[in-house]
Structure 1
């Protein structure tokens, strides 16, 4: 029987401009872990070696693999012609979709791996672990590696939220636990946090427990079971929370007056500042939720870009976005009798009146465009010469 964990991670953090990876992931308990890619932290030693590393955004020797959390356990395995072993890996991993370190190919995925070596040939083993159960059948050499990876699309970091690594594991209270960590990355230790209260690894298979491992505490002496509650656990609490610009638009009135609206996301309780084209910083309002807003006058000049900084962070990591107009689609109607698609849209720039174009169809004449089509697309996208864009569903009116 296979059991899947129904729990999921809750949030993914803003992108770290240094690495292109999210600054943190958060579980439903509020535990927020950052990516441990620096080589000088003795409590987060589990990263790829230099032979698998490369330069990323000016960072030399960036690891080809690094982790937000990893928990590993090993068990001796009997029942085969020789003593074997089982390795269990539970991880939220950062790596690259292509071989080697390559900007633009960043991926983060949740991994559950069950590896058997030198077990009985063509035999099914069942693993119970903190996030559920999994079964795997060995080949004719008594080997199998069963791996589940969730979140393998480059730059789509929300994909890892659909994996089964949730909530994050941690050591039970222990004075030896370094402050700010869930484990020390080196010591075998008990853990807590399993949604099933299965804070262990248990392998069930013919003769599995005959190689000297620990018996199942709930079934002592059973030769077909081997058990451990000892994991090497790595993870570090996030201290840099960053900021993400979710929207940056300008509105220009017919008189020429310009106002810029900046929408941002971070964790609650942060002090965020916005700067237009390198000018003075303006604080953003918000803080009770992850959402923040700034509405800034810009006289009669449309700024090129906005820069946001989380002033609460111990290390400032400014992020920048282009300022565009806002496009609103007023009408996207298809008349099936006349076989005509009518699209109407406006720009937030009432003075400059930038040209508006329906993607794949053509420009609007003023705010309206009519296009002869024997059948319409499901949606239309209108793009402004000032950078704004908007997509709407097509409505069939006749």
Structure 2
């Protein structure tokens, strides 16, 4: 179970967050009103695959793994602590309430692997806790956590997990005995990373939406239905934390933890213990339009002599979910999804009349019966690419070369600096346009080129002699 937040962990988290490699894929959080029965936390979070998980506080037991004396096989991971939370008594906030609880928790482990590495512990969690440690009113916080702990000999390690890739360098001990080599007798780990994102002011639970977590991993064997003996209510769970099972749901299709390192080390596990209780709240289907662009060029067939296409990218629940859009010819275009990650793409051959807006719809009712379709309007724009952004120190000249995906129509491209100040207009007869202009004495750190048809690109300026 993840340990509660401490000031030391907070500092490590701040440093580690700078190097995060995953992409957030949580979609929404309960905005309240919050109930004392839930510890005044947000009731639910929803991921981009459409699954909504309640804060898991119940005492339903696994029907697959029997309880043992003193160790009940709860479907929710409950932080039992003397003087804080007694699971033999009713859960009452704040007098008998867990100091840690989870909307989602995934644990994995890799045991000893020869002399190179051993005892890897991996945690991905969407956690409820308290800023001061113990349960207290007006002190509720939430965060998305990625934690990796492992003993290791010196070398470079690449750890691939469901939500990203982390690279660690373990240094050899120095002559005075310092260093981050093999874990010592005090229990420290050579690799010890905790990245908590979302901790903000108490009672504000939106920060975790930007964490390195989601969509929620779920057992390939679930969902499981169990009844809470204290309430008589049945709930569904995306996994059983008393088991280790294969999972699905990684946004990168990496439903495993893999360690690659020195001496040919390459080990992995694809089984996890999963905690998560499905909510019964009715939520719309997540639908995040990532891009809606068009391109066209002369030489196409037909009366117009123009070859055109419209491209739409959207993040929405994977099949059996569906996605589609209405193009500028008012035709319905089915979108496709290839690998269960929820990344959808669709293309039309319509030739747009600008300005234009497309209607993109996602529907997930076949997977989650209570979900409702979501239609998102999104403006259609060309695609702009900066090919060159150089500043010469000797001449004081900034040179820009950029292109637009609209090669069949006159579309002006204008440049602005990182401070927002105008630089000038690029010129040229075709899709590629250029600008050379004097800027002195300080060049912009970045430059943005924007098309009259809505597209834009930003690049850092390369400084040359």
> Which range, TM-score by smaller chain?
0.5 to 0.7
Superposition pairs of residues 208-223 of structure 1, within 5 angstroms: none
Post-superposition offset of 1:342: 0.9
Contact 2:23 2:213 in 1 (8 A): no
**Match for residue 385 of structure 1 among 428, 447, 452:** 452
Q: Quote the residue 1:295 is aligned against.
A: 347
Contact 1:182 1:236 in 2 (8 A): no
Superposition pairs of residues 189-228 of structure 1, within 5 angstroms: 192=242
Q: Are 2:198 and 1:150 aligned?
A: yes
Post-superposition offset of 1:279: 2.0
Once residues 154 and 90 of structure 1 are traced to their aligned partners in structure 2, the CA distance between those partners, rounded to angstroms, is 14
Unaligned runs of 5+ in 2: 46-53, 58-78, 85-94, 105-125, 137-146, 149-195, 229-233, 245-274, 299-304, 428-432
Once residues 336 and 154 of structure 1 are traced to their aligned partners in structure 2, the CA distance between those partners, rounded to angstroms, is 48
Superposition pairs of residues 63-102 of structure 1, within 5 angstroms: 65-68=42-45, 69-71=54-56, 77=83, 87-91=98-102
Once residues 386 and 77 of structure 1 are traced to their aligned partners in structure 2, the CA distance between those partners, rounded to angstroms, is 64
Q: Secondary structure at the match of 2:374?
A: coil
Post-superposition offset of 1:180: 3.1
Q: Are 2:318 and 1:268 aligned?
A: yes
Contact 2:42 2:55 in 1 (8 A): no
Q: Are 2:390 and 1:373 aligned?
A: no
Post-superposition offset of 1:397: 2.6
Contact 2:398 2:436 in 1 (8 A): yes
Q: Quote the residue 1:115 is aligned against.
A: 134
Post-superposition offset of 1:340: 1.4
Q: Quote the residue 1:197 is aligned against.
A: none
Unaligned runs of 5+ in 1: 15-21, 24-34, 38-45, 51-62, 79-83, 94-108, 118-130, 133-147, 184-189, 195-231
> Cα distance 1:295–1:316, how it changes in 2: closer, same or farther (>3 A)?
same
Structure 1, residues 209-243: CA drift from partner, whole Å, max 9, x if none? xxxxxxxxxxxxxxxxxxxxxxx985438986533
Q: Quote the residue 2:279 is aligned against.
A: 236
Q: Quote the residue 1:128 is aligned against.
A: none
Post-superposition offset of 1:12: 4.7
Q: Quote the residue 1:160 is aligned against.
A: 211
Contact 2:223 2:237 in 1 (8 A): no
Query: How many pairs align?
Result: 269
**Length-normalised TM-score, structure 1:** 0.53
Q: Quote the residue 1:317 is aligned against.
A: 374
Post-superposition offset of 1:10: 7.3
Q: Quote the residue 2:389 is aligned against.
A: 332
> Cα distance 1:151–1:293, how it changes in 2: closer, same or farther (>3 A)?
farther
Structure 1, residues 130-173: CA drift from partner, whole Å, max 9, x if none? x99xxxxxxxxxxxxxxx8725599776523369xx9799x997
Once residues 173 and 249 of structure 1 are traced to their aligned partners in structure 2, the CA distance between those partners, rounded to angstroms, is 42
Structure 1, residues 47-77: CA drift from partner, whole Å, max 9, x if none? 5159xxxxxxxxxxxx994422424567663
**Match for residue 344 of structure 1 among 401, 404, 420:** 401
Once residues 88 and 110 of structure 1 are traced to their aligned partners in structure 2, the CA distance between those partners, rounded to angstroms, is 10
> Cα distance 1:312–1:354, how it changes in 2: closer, same or farther (>3 A)?
same
Once residues 340 and 49 of structure 1 are traced to their aligned partners in structure 2, the CA distance between those partners, rounded to angstroms, is 62
Q: Are 2:359 and 1:307 aligned?
A: yes
Once residues 235 and 56 of structure 2 are traced to their aligned partners in structure 1, the CA distance between those partners, rounded to angstroms, is 18
Contact 1:355 1:363 in 2 (8 A): no
Post-superposition offset of 1:353: 2.2
**Match for residue 363 of structure 1 among 412, 415, 424:** 424
Contact 1:75 1:86 in 2 (8 A): no
Post-superposition offset of 1:182: 5.9
**Length-normalised TM-score, structure 2:** 0.46
Once residues 100 and 332 of structure 2 are traced to their aligned partners in structure 1, the CA distance between those partners, rounded to angstroms, is 45
**Match for residue 48 of structure 1 among 14, 17, 34:** 34
> Cα distance 1:149–1:92, how it changes in 2: closer, same or farther (>3 A)?
farther
Once residues 374 and 154 of structure 1 are traced to their aligned partners in structure 2, the CA distance between those partners, rounded to angstroms, is 46
Contact 1:327 1:389 in 2 (8 A): yes
Structure 1, residues 351-377: CA drift from partner, whole Å, max 9, x if none? 332221112233324122223232323
